């Protein structure tokens, strides 16, 4: 199977999607199972990068405001980080955002991910929230 980026379709794909989100973004900080989900899941566009071995990267695209998309919950399997999957899922999110008429994308990047987003053309606007009392985030923006 070639790499394919799309929303999960089956119950098992959805389970694997949320499992990846939990394992990468919540579990390492002692958060409970279920904390990886929020109300935006009902309206967001869920993206999963599939290869022959399952889901390798995920992201959710939300509408932030007039003409502005927001990407959230970006995660890449630990054993394939640095192989371009994060870049590919971000490109797909941006493509969808542009196709619906957005002129920019925003996101809140963890401090460890800032350089990755800078390499994709995002700029830091300001420090934003601190998650779980110790993960500094930065509001970042990319104009199309």
104 pairs with which residues across the strands?
68, 143
Report pTM: 0.94
Q: What is the pLDDT of residues 57-83, one digit of tens each?
A: 999 999 888 899 999 999 999 999 999
* Residues written for the chain: 144
pLDDT of residue 66: 84
pLDDT above 90 for 18: yes
* Distance between CA atoms of residues 31 and 6, nearest Å: 27
Q: Give the range of the structural domain holding residue 70, as residue numbers without chain letter.
A: 4-143
In total, how many domains does the chain have?
1
Q: What is the pLDDT of residues 92-132, one digit of tens each?
A: 999 999 999 999 999 999 999 999 999 999 999 999 989 98
Which CATH number characterizes residue 98's domain? Answer: 3.40.630.30
Q: Are 78 and 85 spatial neighbours (Cβ–Cβ below 8 Å)?
A: no
* Distance between CA atoms of residues 99 and 96, nearest Å: 5
């Amino acid at each position: 199977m070639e790499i394919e980026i799309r929303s999960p379709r089956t119950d098992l794909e959805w389970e694997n999607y949320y499992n990846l989100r939990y394992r990468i973004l919540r579990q390492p900080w002692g958060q409970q199972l279920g904390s990886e989900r929020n109300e935006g899941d009902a309206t967001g566009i869920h993206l999963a990068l599939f290869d022959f071995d399952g889901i390798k990267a995920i992201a959710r695209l939300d509408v932030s405001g007039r003409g502005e998309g927001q990407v959230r919950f970006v995660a890449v399997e630990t054993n394939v980080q640095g192989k371009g999957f994060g870049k590919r899922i971000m490109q797909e999110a941006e493509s969808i955002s542009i196709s619906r008429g957005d002129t920019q994308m925003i996101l809140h990047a963890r401090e460890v991910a800032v350089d990755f987003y800078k390499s994709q053309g995002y700029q830091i606007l300001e420090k934003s929230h601190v998650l779980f009392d110790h993960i500094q985030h930065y509001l970042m923006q990319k104009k199309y």
